Homo-oligomer: A and B are copies of this chain.
Amino acid sequence: MKSLRDAIRPTTFLQPEALSERLGINLTIATETFQRTGSFKFRAAYNTALNADSSHLLTASSGNFGQALALACKLLGKRCHVVMPETSAQVKIDAVRSHGAEVVLIDVSKIGREERVDQLVSEFPEAYRASAYDDDHVIEGNSTLGDEIAARSDFEAVVVPVGGGGLISGISKGLCRAGHRAELIGAEPLLGNDAARSLAAGELVRNEEEPKTIADGARTVSLGKKNWEIVRNGVSRIVEVPEERIKKAVLRYFLDVNLKVEPTGALSLGALFDIAPAIKGRKVCCVVSGGNVDPAIYAGILQESV
């Protein structure tokens, strides 16, 4: 059995000159698009499957976590059920199945994801219920990316996509552990701005329903409780990114960096379009959470620009 650090791939750091010049900052990209299963979620999923006290895992996921947990369970010889909205990107559904996990599709207007997992828990009481973000194993798994960022350079700011808060809380943990003093900035869709509202209110605020943002990895109702406890202390601000700016960031990565990024992964660059003038000249690490996007959606974003 492999340790977490043996199982994951190191992140890929890029120094995009044209984009740095355009933004007026000293930019480094930490991209998880080449992580196993194409997103940072493999860090979380492998650590969860490794440490879960069961040989069967159940989870709800908008896609990347499910795919990552499916591969992690395959590598560790465990059974895996993944509840997914039927509106998930087809490539993500296919990928989960390709790793041998059982996919349970739901209509989110009729039943909540967690409600459907509740049903599975009744059916398989011995199984481990894995959260895509609100779980110490997840946060610990993602903290390895914080370790890598801390070891890379003395960044003044680190900008991170935010859905349920699993990634940013993990990075916060890794940076703190290393005594790294970067300002940690979150980037979430304006359509689902619960994290920004939570930080403003000083308490965990929820969206009324899953936001219909193109950033399908951030279609979460709220931060997880464990994530919120870290975010409230470790994150200086959350930038709310409008849909048009998410798409513009996906396109900019294509044009200036040769980097294929999924909309959720482009949130952090979308935030930088907004805040770069305020942090001019600073040394910034922009985290790309993943690259898995349906070709039709991606082609649509490219063509809006033509």
Contacts and interface: CB of A to CB of B under 8 A. Distances in A.
Contacts of A302: 295-296, 298-299
A72 to B, nearest CB: 13
Interface stretch (A30-38, A102-110, A127-135, A148-156): A30-38
Contacts of A292: 258
Contacts of A303: 295-296, 299
A265 to B, nearest CB: 10
A306 interface: yes
Main SS of the interface on chain A?
Answer: helix
Contacts of A51: none
B251 A295 contact: yes
Nearest to A306: B296
B15 A291 contact: no
Number of copies: 2
A188 to B, nearest CB: 22
Report, as a range, how many residues of chain A touch the other chain: 20 to 34
A259 interface: yes
Interface in A271-301: 290-292, 295-296, 298-300
A91 interface: yes
Interface string A94-126: 000010000000000000000000000000000
Nearest to A262: B258
Contacts of A17: 36
8 closest residue pairs by CB, A with B? A258-B291, A299-B299, A295-B302, A33-B258, A299-B302, A260-B260, A296-B306, A299-B303
